[in-house]
Structure 1
Amino acid sequence: SSRAEFDLPEYSVRRRYQDFDWLRNKLEESQPTHLIPPLPEKFVVKGVVDRFSEEFVETRRKALDKFLKRITDHPVLSFNEHFNVFLTAKDLNAYKKQGITLLTRVGESVKHVTSGYKLRSRPLEFAAIGEYLDTFALKLGTIDRIAQRIIKEEIEYLVELREYGPVYSTWSALEGELAEPLEGVSACIGNCSTALEELTDDMTEDFLPVLREYILYADSMKSVLKKRDQVQAEYEAKLEAVALRKEDRPKVPTDVEKCQDRMECFNADLKADMERWQNNKRQDFRQLLMGMADKNIQYYEKCLMAWESIIPLLQEKQENKWQVH
């Protein structure tokens, strides 16, 4: 880093998943008005992903790396003191055991403020955001479930192909004239198996994690939206209480003004984060869908090439047969 708050230009530290979890919790506490990027879930698709495999570890590493980049790109979160500690501290446990910092106290204060009040109705723009997030999460959830089922079926098909190909090779040992074509079919099926394995790996390692991230992102955004609603509800309750008081006051009480400031801060931060999130989403899904299209095209091209490669061999055997007759 070249920022002044970092003592050195470069750091090398070791972090576990629970350390990332600590960082995210601290960001939520200290920056309650902002959208905090989600962490990859500790979930495994049964029969699809082995959580102890190198592939899974690498997929998790990429997701955690993306989490850090999301924070680094944020104009507010990137300056958070907990983020600085996470990136620079050799012994993070020492910081975890420390007392509540000022930033955390601010977060706790907002958490206390945002309880016990009921919102009459959301402003239209935030109501639209809430409806969009519900629909978005529902659609992605459906795609995620179907994609997992497709991957599971592809893996089962792959197992069958790996058993299917060698049968032709074994059969060829019993045949004279058909030996070469049968070996060709066996090799062809082997090439198709390899292509399918690559496609399945791409779906598991690249496609599914993006879907999961954005499902969790929608949940995170809804959480911030709910906090904003609670601050607005508190502001409305305080205004109502002031209006009911009999004594004449020349101006609105200070606590009401502070509550209004909090609400306006929430509104501004949420709208800015929503716009930033939408821009990132468009870029990520454009890249994701184009990548998926390319991978599927490559898969079918490899299978087509494999089958086309044995056609001359089969035609040659057919011609030889006619010449003999």
Structure 2
Amino acid sequence: MMGYENQGHEEAHLYATPAEMESLVLTDNDDSSHHQSQPNHHHPLSSSLPFAAQIPTDDDHLLASPSFLTHSQSQSQNPIPNHSSSSSSFKFILEPPSYADAVFRSFDGDHINETNGHDSSSGDLSSSPPSTVEYLSISVSDPQKEQDLANSLVSGGNTYVTYLITTRTNLPDFNGSEFSVRRRFKDVVTLSDRLSESYRGFFIPIRPDKNVVESQVMQKQEFVEQRRVALEKYLRRLAAHPVIRRSDELRSFLEVDGRLPLVRNTDVASRMLDGAVKLPRQLFGESVGGAVDVSEVVQPAKGGRDLLRLFKELKQSVTNDWGGAKPPVVEEDKEFLEKKEKLQDFEQQISNVSQQAESLVKAQQDIGETMGQLGLAFVKLTKFETEEAVYETQRVRAADMKSVATAAVKASRLYRELTAQTVKHLDKLHEYLGAMLAVNQAFSDRSSALLTVQTLLSELSSLHLRIEKLEAASSKIFGGDRARIRKIDELKETVRATEDAKSCAIREYERIKENNKNELERLDKERHDDFFNMLKGFVVNQAGYAEKMASVWDMVAEETIGYAKDGS
């Protein structure tokens, strides 16, 4: 340290103006032991020229932003120093690029692009996969605000946002290879509802939430961009599904221009109202004994159109849980039950790992920011020591501080890039955590279909018991009881309708079981491949960036090896 007599002069320079700070540019020495091998009077810092030298570019472009490369090239072409170039280079050191500005080169050579919902080698829709491979590429862009003229009483009162959905494919199910349509979020909701009804038992990706409150709290543009990204991910996941990608619903959504041809769901309130209107006729026998409509048993009762069926299934559910009698039919697929239990454990484990991954990303980000602040502090200290240097040892120490500052800035950049690579690879954990919602929904379809079958079987048993009692009572009367005979005929008609509904419900249940089986096999295979690629990319990048960081500090250790010799 400098003597006490210079303390006041030091303090006068501790708080340099921004212009003075920006005029400082750091550099690495080409020769790590330059200040040791050369005489002291030849040390770069002993020169009477202003201390202005640039940080050399690394052979890896990860360490240099485009602005810095431009600055380096301009200096090599024009060696005359100027204040503006020094300022821009120093600003580059003080303000490392953000994640969005950094140029990343993954050590595993993986570049993100979503074709068929998976990563591929190019991020441009204009470059399609080979024609021999089936592909379905979807992008969502160009959000535009439009007026809702149909539902607005005042001109300009209601507005909504539409998105341009561009599709490129070679699938024969589509009528072209490239087409675009504009859709609003309400159309996505309709698509999701149609798929949920038509493909029960499949692991259908969950659509993004409506987030009405969030849209009001966040800035409009920020919310629209977040929704655009979410919609693009959702549609790409649908495109990755081997069955959904060929569905008529998705094809119409992507291909048919103008108004969406899919029929929208009636809202819950309207369905409940329809069910309430129909309930008295069912209770008082105006319909066929309250029998379930065959066309409705393929859908869950919670839709609300048939309140009597809803009440019956609720009663059956309570009986299954609390009644002493065994249900007429139960889930007997032991293999499925074992897989279901394992997936529940998997969901818990993946949730824990996902939380730890978030902690890791936060820790790496904090280290990178702290390392950058350390580099900035050494930059300021180097400037102070250089300007106030009186003894040659101070100049040598300033050169070593400059090396530490350079290494800290480089390490900060590497941590930023490593964090981005960590997010890219470990994001697969979050994807699977979201996929478990689709898995649980498919299992819920199965449970709902089984409950419908159980309810219909219980209903048939009850009807047969009533018929037996009426027949026994009617047989005791000579000539029969016409009222009882008429009631028996009505009950037999109800039995026939219920038998038809039961057969349809059993077929639907078996179809859902088969869908579950196929989806579980697909999930096992994809999980193996996805987790292998995730772990490979994560480990390779952790090792690669650790090696780069070690090389940065090894260079500083070589440049400061003189301290170890002096100490010995």
Counting only pairs closer than 5 Å after superposition, residues 75-114 of structure 1 correspond to structure 2 as: 75=243, 77-91=244-258, 94-95=259-260, 98=263, 109-112=298-301
Q: What TM-score, normalized by structure 2, do the two folds share? A: 0.47
Q: Give the Å deviation of 1:129.
A: 2.8
> Which of these residues, 54, 67, 74, is aligned with residue 237 of structure 2?
67
> Which of these residues, 335, 355, 366, is aligned with residue 145 of structure 1?
355
Q: Give the Å deviation of 1:261.
A: 1.0
- 1:144, 1:212 within 8 Å by CA — same for their partners in 2? yes
Call closer, same or farther: CA 1:280–1:59 in 2, change over 3 Å: farther
Separation (CA, whole Å) in 2 of partners of 1:301 and 1:20: 46
| 2:518 is equivalent to residue 272 of structure 1 | yes
- 1:6, 1:84 within 8 Å by CA — same for their partners in 2? yes
Which aligned runs of 4 or more in structure 1 are off by greater than 6 angstroms?
A: 40-44, 55-59
- 2:205, 2:234 within 8 Å by CA — same for their partners in 1? no
Separation (CA, whole Å) in 1 of partners of 2:172 and 2:356: 48
Call closer, same or farther: CA 1:110–1:276 in 2, change over 3 Å: same
Question: Aligned with 1:69: secondary structure?
Answer: helix
Separation (CA, whole Å) in 1 of partners of 2:184 and 2:376: 44
Q: Give the Å deviation of 1:98.
A: 4.9
Name structure 2 gaps, 5 residues minimum.
1-168, 215-220, 267-294, 304-309, 321-326, 386-393, 469-491
Aligned to 2:507: 261
Call closer, same or farther: CA 1:264–1:64 in 2, change over 3 Å: closer
Aligned to 1:48: none
> Which of these residues, 289, 295, 306, is aligned with residue 552 of structure 2?
306
Greater relative contact order (CA < 8 Å, ≥ 6 in sequence): 1
Q: Give the Å deviation of 1:242.
A: 3.2
Q: State the AA in 1 paired with 2:441.
A: S
Q: Give the Å deviation of 1:6.
A: 2.4
Aligned to 2:15: none
Q: Give the Å deviation of 1:152.
A: 2.1
Separation (CA, whole Å) in 1 of partners of 2:297 and 2:552: 62
Q: Give the Å deviation of 1:259.
A: 1.7
Call closer, same or farther: CA 1:108–1:157 in 2, change over 3 Å: farther
> Which of these residues, 521, 528, 539, is aligned with residue 282 of structure 1?
528
Aligned to 2:402: 183
- Number of residue pairs aligned between Structure 1 and Structure 2: 304
The structure number with the bigger radius of gyration is: 2
Q: State the AA in 2 paired with 1:178.
A: R
- 2:297, 2:452 within 8 Å by CA — same for their partners in 1? no
Aligned to 1:47: none
Q: Give the Å deviation of 1:269.
A: 0.8
Q: Give the Å deviation of 1:157.
A: 2.5
Counting only pairs closer than 5 Å after superposition, residues 245-256 of structure 1 correspond to structure 2 as: 245-246=464-465, 253-256=499-502
Aligned to 2:377: 167
Question: Aligned with 1:12: secondary structure?
Answer: strand
Q: State the AA in 2 paired with 1:80.
A: S
- 2:239, 2:245 within 8 Å by CA — same for their partners in 1? no
CA-atom RMSD, angstroms?
A: 3.6
Name structure 1 gaps, 5 residues minimum.
45-50
Q: What TM-score, normalized by structure 1, do the two folds share? A: 0.79
Q: State the AA in 2 paired with 1:23.
A: L
> Which of these residues, 233, 237, 242, is aligned with residue 451 of structure 2?
233
Aligned to 2:478: none
Question: Aligned with 1:7: secondary structure?
Answer: coil
Q: Give the Å deviation of 1:316.
A: 4.8
What do residues 52-105 of structure 1 show as CA deviations (whole Å, max 9, x unaligned)? Answer: 59x97997587346414323xx13x223222012221333xx21785569xxxx
**Structure richer in helix, relative to its length:** 1
- 1:13, 1:87 within 8 Å by CA — same for their partners in 2? yes
Call closer, same or farther: CA 1:239–1:149 in 2, change over 3 Å: same
**Structure richer in strand, relative to its length:** 2
Q: Give the Å deviation of 1:196.
A: 0.7
